[in-house]
Structure 1
Amino acid sequence: MAVSDECKLKFQELKAKRNHRFIVFMIEDQEIVVDKVGNPKASYEDFTASLPSNECRYAIFDFDFVTVENVQRSKIFFVAWSPDTAKVRQKMVYASSKDRFKRELDGIQFELQATDPSEMSLDIIKSRAH
């Protein structure tokens, strides 16, 4: 599975310049491409709303939070979105390409696998980040 250069470029922009809150990737014609990009002010709800309810996606979310010591932190989450309603073939393609794609994106700190929105609630993100 090929990975478009734009995927790596957008990820670097998120990681280094912090000019995106999230990036959603999709597989199209045997290549992983950028589907949607969220601006730095986008909320977690904007991110989850950008994921289709019946198709698989990969996504990156830059989670900002304040620690108990009152220190501002950021963690980069990789989300493998594979809803139960997606086609079986699509789920298999996304599952088999995931690890290779993740290796292309250096700097991911946490991974989350989700088949429905409750598996990637903001509470889950918060508990993983601390």
Structure 2
Amino acid sequence: MANAASGMAVHDDCKLRFLELKAKRTHRFIVFKIEEKQKQVVVEKVGEPTQSYEDFTASLPVDECRYAVYDFDYVTEENCQKSRIFFVAWSPDTSRVRSKMIYASSKDRFKRELDGIQVELQATDPTEVGLDVIKSRAS
């Protein structure tokens, strides 16, 4: 099941946790990392439903790439409660070039494993994952 482009497999736990977030809403967010030695994507951190968006952005490392999903709840102008699942490809400018390349080449394959993502964000610095950006992309 490894990705031909980058050779990265996706650990079953990634899909399981994502299904829990999507179907049962037992998580607010999930941060995934690529374990280069094992050549697979694994779950690094899971956010409790009560955790805030700030907790989510704080869990993204300053100088390392990650993938993340965030379950964003919002209220529409018609006063309807809605939620969108965001996929964030976090690739800070300060991370290693090799790491950026591995994450970039594995992203589409990994994203396909997570069925139900509604919005994708590419981010290289914290302003690109600001709450205002999320709000504007949600509707």
- TM-score range normalised by the length of the shorter chain: over 0.9
Q: How far apart are 1:34 and its partner, in Å?
A: 0.1
Q: CA–CA distance in 2 between the matches of 1:112 and 1:55?
A: 16
Deviation at 1:120, TM superposition (A): 1.0
- Runs (4 or more) in structure 1 with deviation over 4 Å come to none
Q: TM-score, normalised by structure 2?
A: 0.93
Instruction: Report matched runs for 1:113-128 at 5 Å.
Output: 113-128=122-137
**Aligned equivalent of 1:106:** 115
Deviation per CA, 1:35-55, whole angstroms, max 9, x where unpaired?
A: 000000110000000000000
Is structure 2 residue 34 aligned with structure 1 residue 27? Answer: yes
Distance 2:133 2:64 in 1: 22
Percent identity over the alignment?
75
Structure 1 residue 90 and structure 2 residue 99: aligned?
yes
**TM-score, reference length from structure 1:** 0.99
Structure 1's unaligned 5+ residue stretches are: none
- The runs of 5 or more residues in structure 2 that have no matched partner are 1-7
User: CA-to-partner distance for each residue in 1:85-125, whole Å, 9 max, x for gaps?
Assistant: 00000000000000000000000000000000001110010
Correspondence for 2:52 among 34, 43, 52: 43
CA RMSD of aligned residues (A): 0.4
